[in-house]
């Protein structure tokens, strides 16, 4: 019979027999996170982690099967920095935006985190806690469970995108940003992109540099307000059956049209 696939979370950290390990997965994780914080994700390798620990690379395979296990451990460790003890207010959108803001703050502290290759189920114990908190925030909303899971996944993807943009924006030179803005303005003014020109004209009176956090919160609120709705009562749904009048599902007394 084929063995059931296992993850780093379901494998024992050490064998039942043999000497006490000199290190732990927590040691490996702390070293790997430190390397990534200092030098980026590309600096994290089994060889470099072993060097930082002062041990041989082969010895690390007593704790993990390879770099993917290490990425799982690193991701879960920093997700654990997101404060999940903050009480929910009862408004799902407000609570999710606040959670997303805390998640983005962690990604900004660890700029390598948005570069972790995305996997739908890269979930460790702390990540499952995060998922539970997000789903609890949506408990009052009558949406199917899979839809709520999709909303959390989309929210997480947007958090990563905003964090990546903010990190990259902070690294771009002022001259480069000014040149890019001038190019866009000049191209829009040539007449072949009227909608871009109109949008930029609307922006002309706005403040030149909006706080990235305010922009993030406004955008997340807009997106989540459109997703986190009570599917039963959010809108009138037209119900059409053969040979019957048409009525709205939410009211039940709509006029036939």
pLDDT tens-digit series, residues 127-157: 999 999 999 999 999 999 999 999 999 999 9
Mean pLDDT of 232-256: 44
Q: How many alpha carbons lie under 13 Å from residue 191 in its C-beta half-sphere?
A: 0
What is 80-100 written as a DSSP string? TTS---SPP-S-HHHHHHHHH
Mean pLDDT of 176-198: 76
> pLDDT at residue 40 above 60?
yes
Please tell me which residue, 6 or 215, carries the higher pLDDT value. 215
pLDDT tens-digit series, residues 194-240: 877 777 776 665 555 668 899 999 999 999 999 998 765 544 434 34
Buried b (16+ CB within 10 A) or exposed e, 151-184: bbeebbebbbebbeebbeeeeeeeeeeeeeeeee
> pLDDT at residue 37 above 70?
yes
Mean pLDDT of 33-54: 94
């Amino acid at each position: 019979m084929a063995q059931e696939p296992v993850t780093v979370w379901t494998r024992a950290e050490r064998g039942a027999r043999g000497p006490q390990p000199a290190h732990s997965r927590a040691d490996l994780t702390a070293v790997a996170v430190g390397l990534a914080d200092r030098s980026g994700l590309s600096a994290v390798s089994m060889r470099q982690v072993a060097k930082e620990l002062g041990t041989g690379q082969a010895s690390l395979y007593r704790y993990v099967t390879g770099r993917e296990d290490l990425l799982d451990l690193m991701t879960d460790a920093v997700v654990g920095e997101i404060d999940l003890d903050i009480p929910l207010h009862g408004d799902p959108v407000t609570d999710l935006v606040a959670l997303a803001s805390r998640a983005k703050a962690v990604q900004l502290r660890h700029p390598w985190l948005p570069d972790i290759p995305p996997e739908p189920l890269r979930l460790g114990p702390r990540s499952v806690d995060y998922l539970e908190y997000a789903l609890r925030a949506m408990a009052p909303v009558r949406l199917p469970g899979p839809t709520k899971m999709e909303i959390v996944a989309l929210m997480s993807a947007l958090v990563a995108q905003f964090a990546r943009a903010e990190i990259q924006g902070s690294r771009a030179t002022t001259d480069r940003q000014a040149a890019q803005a001038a190019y866009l303005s000049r191209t829009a003014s040539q007449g072949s992109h009227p909608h871009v020109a109109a949008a930029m004209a609307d922006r002309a009176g706005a403040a030149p540099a909006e706080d990235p956090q305010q922009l993030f919160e406004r955008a997340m609120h807009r997106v989540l307000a459109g997703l986190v709705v009570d599917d039963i009562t959010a809108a009138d749904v037209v119900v059409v059956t053969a040979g019957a009048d048409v009525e709205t599902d939410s009211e039940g007394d709509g006029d036939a049209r």
